[in-house]
Amino acid sequence: MLKNLFKTIFPDLCIGCNGLLIKNESVLCIHCRHDLPYTQHHKNPNNEALLKFYGIVPIENCFAMLYFHNEGIAKRLMHQLKYKGKQEIGTLLGNMYYPELEDKFKHEDSKTTFEIIPVPLHKKRQKERGYNQVTTFCKALSKGLDITLNETLLIRNHYTKTQTQKNKIARQKINDALFDIVETTSESNKHYILVDDIITTGATLEACAKALLRIPNAKVSIVTMAFTET
């Protein structure tokens, strides 16, 4: 009753067009879902996202769902997800994206096991924000693809403030030291699907992938919600 009254005064609006959402719609109306700037990376194994890592760190597959433009809908979605607590955005995107990835991460080879690994926030930042912005996206992928979500294997070491002043090489050195693997004995022959919100320079994902590839016989793929063309 109260909830209905609240919804009458503050109806749910589409993040894309600000139109009223109808019953059973959340986050985006059907028109905005249809018009999202999809990259179609899953249709091209040698896509622009994979090329970002070419010659730097061996990545099996790299798929970003949406193009991130400066004034676009993907930017609004990422902002609301990251800073406004709208974690249902991650769930929606994960539920929309996993069917495109089903044939990419199939358990064909009985020796290889897939695991979904979120790029971790530092504990302090996660405490400030209350959540990691990739968690709901990871959970939706994990459920849809029937692949275990492992939130404890990869850890972030230090809390860093903005790194914009430092040059690229210095930044990468710091990034490489940022991530570590929690030691385990049963992690060989895993194919890790590393998940983040956006690929911009790729430096964070590069550092995470390098950390995971220290595990014997590990393979790494990357899936993100958005991709910045640079």
Contacts with Zn ion by CB under 5 A lie at 14, 16-17, 19, 29, 32
State the nearest-atom distance from the C-beta of 11 to Zn ion, in Å.
Answer: 13
Alpha-carbon span 115 to 108, nearest angstrom: 14
- Return the CA Rg of the chain: 18
Give whichever of 35 and 229 is closer to Zn ion, judged by the CB atom: 35
Q: Is 105 helix (H, G, I), strand (E, B) or coil?
A: coil
Identify which of residues 10 and 169 has a Cβ nearer to Zn ion in the complex.
10
Smallest CA-to-CA distance from 221 within 78, 74, 117 is with 117
Which residue, 55, 52, 70, is CA-closest to 196?
52
Q: How far is the CB of 30 from Zn ion (least distance, A)?
A: 8
Q: How far is the CB of 14 from Zn ion (least distance, A)?
A: 3
Is the Cβ–Cβ distance between 3 and 15 less than 8 Å? no
Q: CA-to-CA distance for 59 and 206, rounded, in angstroms?
A: 9
Q: Which is nearer to Zn ion, 37 or 144 (CB)?
A: 37
Which tokens belong to 181? 């693997």
Q: Which helix (H) or strand (E) holds 206?
A: helix 203-212
Rounded CA-CA distance 82/130 in Å is 10
- Residue 47: what are its φ and ψ, rounded to 5°? -75, 175
Nearest to Zn ion of 24, 164 (CB atom): 24
For Zn ion, the closer CB: 25 or 151: 25
Choice between 15 and 147, CB closer to Zn ion: 15
Taking the complex as a whole, the smallest distance from the CB of residue 38 to Zn ion amounts, in Å, to 16
Asked if residues 141 and 101 have their Cβ atoms less than 8 Å apart, the reply is yes
Minimal distance in Å, beta carbon 227 to Zn ion?
Answer: 22
CB of residue 9 to Zn ion, shortest distance in Å: 21
